[in-house]
Amino acid sequence: DRTLKIAPSILSADFANFGAECRAVEAQGADWIHVDVMDGHFVPNITFGPATCAAIRPHIKTVMDVHLMIAPVDPYIDAFAKAGADIITAHVEAGPHIHRTLQAIRGAGAKAGVALNPGTPVEAVAPVLDMVDLVCVMSVNPGFGGQKFIETTPERVRQLRALIGDRPVHIEIDGGVDPATAPKVVQAGADVLVAGSAVFKGGSVEDPSPYGDNIRAI
Ligand code: DX5
Ligand code: ZN
């Protein structure tokens, strides 16, 4: 299903109110919920781990899309699967054994994603395209919300779409997605758009109606 999906990133939500924020953003039209896990090692920021994902899970009716910005990945796969992640995405740069990692993710019963940092050639995921449900193309350097979209991304998406061919693999864009940048990556072949600051700006758990306006604007 390649219809366009918007996946708000709760990295830009109220960290003291994840449950309410997930319910609110779904009620306002979110297709998936994107959950950013950072370890202060693979990326220079720390968020939260599987226990928080498990706590959030009952507040999400749709897909919980877990983006792991951690290294190593393999010791934690079962914990994120048990926490209820529908999709678990690991970075191709996170270690030497992405093939093993993706096998383990599917083995744990989740859908598998592979993410590419902006400096990594898209060809790096070519050998594993039959093992994934999603490729996440980072359009910022991972670690923080609110960064500027890197303009080489649409060309990278075109290259990746050609590599993927007719495989049933989503292309997800993560970072700096807003009403100005979204059309460029959709035109290039992306079908899942992660958006943090562009969705949550101007709203709050008390008044989430701006979230809906922001989602529709993308
Ligand atoms: C960045 C995260 C993104 C982030 C995007 O490392 O992976 O998911 O939340 O935030 P915005 O949409 O504000 O660039
Ligand atoms: Zn992310």
Element holding 87 (H helix, E strand): strand 87-91
Predicted confidence at residue 213, as pLDDT, reads 98
User: 145 CB under 6 A from ligand 1?
Assistant: yes
Mean pLDDT, range 26-51, rounded to an integer: 98
Q: For residue 207, give both structure tokens.
A: 């008044």
Tokens 């460029």 label which residue?
A: 184
Mean pLDDT, range 47-66, rounded to an integer: 98
Mean pLDDT, range 39-49, rounded to an integer: 98
Q: Half-sphere exposure of residue 98, counting CA atoms within 13 Å on the CB side?
A: 22
CA nearest to 170, candidates 193, 149, 151, 199:
193
Mean pLDDT, range 159-171, rounded to an integer: 98
Taking the CA atoms of 78, 14, 28 and 179 in sequence, report the sign of the dihedral they define.
negative
Mean pLDDT, range 65-71, rounded to an integer: 99
Q: What residues does the ion ligand 2 have nearby, CB within 5 Å?
A: 36, 67, 174
User: 36 CB under 6 A from ligand 1?
Assistant: yes
The number of the ligand 1 atom at minimal distance from the alpha carbon of 43 is 6
Query: Does the pLDDT value for residue 2 go beyond 90?
Result: no
Question: Letter for the amino acid at 170?
Answer: H
Question: Could you tell me the pLDDT band of residue 31, with boundaries at 50, 70 and 90?
Answer: very high
Predicted confidence at residue 67, as pLDDT, reads 99
The CATH architecture assigned to 5-217 reads Alpha-Beta Barrel (3.20)
Element holding 51 (H helix, E strand): helix 50-56
Give the mean pLDDT of the chain.
98
| Nearest protein Cα to ligand 1, atom 4 | 145
Q: Provide the residue ranges of all domains of the chain, joining segments of one domain with +.
A: 5-217
What pTM does this model have?
0.98
User: 113 CB under 6 A from ligand 1?
Assistant: no
Query: Does the pLDDT value for residue 1 go beyond 90?
Result: no
Instruction: List, for residues 100-142, the tens digit of each pLDDT value.
Output: 999 999 999 999 999 999 999 999 999 999 999 999 999 999 9
Tokens 């994902």 label which residue?
A: 53
The number of the ligand 1 atom at minimal distance from the alpha carbon of 195 is 12
Instruction: List, for residues 191-200, the tens digit of each pLDDT value.
Output: 999 999 999 9
Taking the CA atoms of 126, 37, 84 and 172 in sequence, report the sign of the dihedral they define.
negative
